[in-house]
Amino acid sequence: MNRQREDTNLSLKMRVGLCPTCGEYTQFNFLGEQHWPPRVVEATGMGPVVHLWLCGSCQTTLTETYMDSQG
- Taking CB under 5 A as the binding criterion, the range among 5-13, 18-26, 31-39, 45-53 that sits at the site for Zn ion is 18-26
* Angstrom distance (rounded) from CA 16 to CA 29: 9
The sign of the torsion formed by the CA atoms of 28, 30, 32, 35 equals positive
As measured in angstroms, the least distance from the Cβ of 54 to Zn ion is: 9
As measured in angstroms, the least distance from the Cβ of 57 to Zn ion is: 4
22 binds Zn ion (CB under 5 A): yes
- In 31-52, which positions are buried (b, 16+ CB within 10 angstroms) versus exposed (e)? eeeeeeeeeeeeeeeeeeebbe
21 binds Zn ion (CB under 5 A): yes
Q: Which residues bind Zn ion (CB under 5 A)?
A: 19, 21-22, 55, 57-58, 60
